[in-house]
Structure formats: C-alpha cells, structure tokens
Amino acid sequence: MADYKLVTTTARYYGLAADTKPTLTAADIGREAFELDTDTKYIWDGAAWQAQSTLGSVTVSGSGATATEVQGNIANDAADSGNPVKVGGKAISGTPPVVTANDRVNAWLDLYGRQVVTLQAPGDTGDIFNSQGLITQGTASHDAAILGKPVRLGARALTSNYTAVATGDAADLISTLVGALINKPYSIPEGDWSYAAAASGIANTTTAVTIAAAAGAGLRNYITGVQLSSDALGAATEFAIRDGAAGTVLWRKKIGTAGIVNGINYTFASPLKSTANTLLEVVTLTASITGAVYFNAQGYIAP
C-alpha cells in the first residue's frame, strides 16, 4: 500500500483510496488530499482527514439545476455534531427594499449584527413597531367580527397608593386584593374643584357670585353635585346657576319665604357643564330682604 504524494507546493496530496494518507498536525489544517480513483476530496481538520461530503461541498461552477449542491453534514432530526458554520446577513440602518415574491433575500441585521425579526402574518404589510418599540394589536379591528380569544388584563393589587408618577408617564391600573378595579369617576383628582358658601351666605342681593373661574382654552367646568339651604326669607326668590357672567341659566330653584331649613342635595347623573373657558356663577334673582341662602358645589375640569 503506497503513501500519498505531496505533488504541489500548495499542500495538496494525491493518491488512491487504498493508499495511506499522511498524518499531519494541527498546524496543517486545510490541507487537501485527492483520491484519484474515487474522485473524492479530503481536508485535514487538525486531527483527521474529513471527506468533502462530511464538510459540505462548495459551489465552484454551474448554475441552476447544474450547480454543485451545498449541504450540511447532518440530516434533519439527526443528532448534532461537528462545528457550526457562521451565518451572516446584510446590515441595514433602515428598512430593506421589497423584493419580488419567490426572490432570494438577505437576512436582515441591524448595525450591531442582531437579526431583525418582524412578527407579521404572510402578506401583512401593516406596521407592528414604531420608534417606541413593538406595537401590540388585537385580532380584529373596531366594528369587525370578534376573532380568537381575549387577552387577559391585570392590575396592581394594593392596600395603599403607590408613589405618584410624573405627568405623562405610564401608570399601572390599581385593584383590590381580589382584582376589583379601582375607578375614579369623571376626572383625575387634580381636575376636581369645589365651592363652599361664604359664612354669611348670599343675603338680600342680586349680585352674582363666581363659584368656578374659567378653566382655560378648550376646557369646561362641570358640576356633579350641589347642596342648597336657606333661612326663612323676607321675600321669595329664585336661585340660579349661570354659564358665564350674567349668562345662560343652567339650573334654577325657587325658594319660598319659609326657606329650605333642612337643606337639599342634588347629584347630577349627567353633569352640568359650562361653555369652554367660561366661569360659572350663582345668583338670587330677587333680593331676599331678610335671611340668607347657602350654596355648595362640587365639580371638575375637562374638555
């Protein structure tokens, strides 16, 4: 049995299948040996000669159906072995151009080599991310038939308030320890306002009293509840809530001379509202002569 012969200066050996291949060292990785009778190529991997079919073939000529096939060293569902092949892609700072269906495409990497993965259904071209990150969407649009299963929502169960966040920040929903959501009606606490009657009330006058200043551009004052009481009066009067100075009456109550000694309380299921950026005021439309009227109100500011 003959030995292989080194026949070139580029570390290539030639021999027959029955010949003994030379024993090399780790320094000789990449040297090649050819079996002339089987047309098989071997490459020294630092420890042993590996047939080209084990290492994977390389396309050197041809195209289409005649191109040399490139394949891995392990079949699907077989135990993994050997060294992995480094896979690359095209680093792009923006979005890759759209190709024609069935075209070959580059793997999309960012400028740090991280692969970009877009979670979309085939044919879906809608955006699922923006500059802030991934956009989470439901399975059906508004007014479309419901599809799939609902996403379960959660809240933070607390027995006391958490530290207030900065305005404009994201904030957790709050629930009781059994998951009942805590809801504040109408507005945020900072939008609430209230008015309390003066110590002497409104006595023997038709001069209006402002109970809420104009809220600002695009904002309205809303009234959710009022309390009204009065002494016995020297003259009957009408009590009114007005939208703006001497403006439209939003609510009125007649008070007789016996007054409203025990007081009355009104809660508006649909809050009274002012015109945008307009004050609210109250007035006794007729002077009471004697006795005073007492009025309290609660509300909030919103568009």
Instruction: Return the pLDDT at 56.
Output: 43
Look over the chain and give the mean of its residue pLDDT values, rounded to a whole number. Answer: 85
**Which tens digits make up the pLDDT trace of 267-285?**
999 999 999 999 999 999 9
pLDDT tens digits, one per residue of 176-201: 999 999 888 888 888 999 999 999 99
* Cα–Cα distance, 220 to 275 (Å, whole number): 6
Q: Which of 15, 41, 60 is the last residue of a domain?
A: 60
The per-residue pLDDT for 76 is 77
Place of tokens 């530290």: 163
DSSP 8-state secondary structure symbol assigned to residue 33: E
pTM: 0.56
Which token pair is 98?
């759209």
Domain boundary among 60, 75, 96: 60
Instruction: Give the number of domains in the chain.
Output: 2
DSSP label of 150? P
Q: What is the pLDDT of residue 60?
A: 47
- Domain of residue 267 covers 190-302
* Per-residue pLDDT tens over the stretch 194-230: 999 999 999 999 999 999 999 999 999 999 999 999 9
Please determine, for residue 263, whether its predicted confidence score (pLDDT) is greater than 80. yes
pLDDT the model gives residue 57: 44
Check residues 192 and 78 and name the one with the higher pLDDT: 192
Domain-embedded: residue 25: yes
Note the pLDDT of residue 269.
Answer: 92
282: nearest Cα among 210, 224, 218:
210
Asked if the structure places residue 70 within a domain, the reply is no
